[in-house]
Structure 1
Amino acid sequence: MIIGIGNDMESISRIEAVLNRRPNFLSTILTPEEMAAANKRSGKHYLEFVAGRFSAKEAYSKALGTGIGKAVSWHDMCILNDDMGRPVITVSGQKNELSVAITHSGDYVSTIVTIEKLSCFQKWSKKRWEKREK
């Protein structure tokens, strides 16, 4: 059962301007693991990565319904790519299933995050599927 959906859209050039004005912005919004992943990119891909993570964290806070602040901070959330390149969001203390989609087009990045409470059957089925993939 879906218990939260959040979306966000950001201008990549606006994020670039913030990075130029506030050098500590990057360490404010990204975890050390995300910063390491960002630093493996350059130019347009670097900016898309940073804007995408910012947007995804905003979308998660909207799905949670709290915004970023007391309930969840920037560093509570980490979005890294799996082996296939798909973004995966993890949030400290979050026990529900999370999904994130990040897309770029021109100067914009758009994200959607869902928070889903899995039934007992869904949890069992997921565990079985993960075992079959190994």
Structure 2
Amino acid sequence: MIIGIGNDTEAISRVGQIVTRQTKFMDSILTPAEREQALERKGKHFHEFVAGRFSAKEAFSKATGYGIGEKVHWHDIEILNEPNGRPIMQVKNFRYKTYVAITHSGDFVNTVVIIERLTILERLSLKFFPKRGVL
């Protein structure tokens, strides 16, 4: 059962300017593993990655209705890529399944996050078959 949907759009150039001007921005927003993945990217792909993670975390905060700060902090949310490039969102102390889609077009990144409450059978299935997906 879907219990939350969040959407966020960011200008990649604006996030890039913030990253350049505020040296602590990446440390505040990204987990160490996310920073490591970001630093593997060069040129525009670096700013796209950072903007995508920022946008995904904003979309998550909208899907939960919590916002960022009181119940959930930036480092509680981590979005890493599977080997095929698919982003996977993990949230500390969060018992629901999250799905994230990040897309870039021109100077914009748009992100959608869906939060799903799983039944007991689905939770058991995930425990024994963790690679749940469409394909």
Q: TM-score range by the shorter chain?
A: over 0.9
One-letter amino acid matched to 1:107: D
The SS at the match of 2:27 is helix
CA distance, structure 2, for counterparts of residue 127 and residue 28 of structure 1: 32
Q: Normalising to structure 1: TM-score of the pair?
A: 0.92
Partner of 2:70: 70
Identity across the alignment (%):
55
**Structure with a larger share of its residues in helix:** 1
Indicate whether 1:123 and 2:114 are aligned: no
CA distance, structure 1, for counterparts of residue 50 and residue 9 of structure 2: 13
CA distance, structure 1, for counterparts of residue 91 and residue 131 of structure 2: 23
Partner of 1:93: 93
Matches within 5 A, 1:28-43: 28-43=28-43
One-letter amino acid matched to 1:62: K
Q: Figure out how many residues of one structure are paired with residues of the other and give that number.
A: 132
Structure 1 stretches of 4+ moved >6 Å: none
How far 1:130 sits from its partner (Å)?
4.1
CA distance, structure 1, for counterparts of residue 40 and residue 130 of structure 2: 29
How far 1:89 sits from its partner (Å)?
0.4
How far 1:43 sits from its partner (Å)?
0.5
Which residues of structure 1 form unaligned runs of 5+? none
How far 1:124 sits from its partner (Å)?
3.9
The Cα offsets for residues 16-66 of structure 1, whole Å up to 9 and x where unpaired, read as 111122111010100000000000001011010000000000000111101
Partner of 2:3: 3
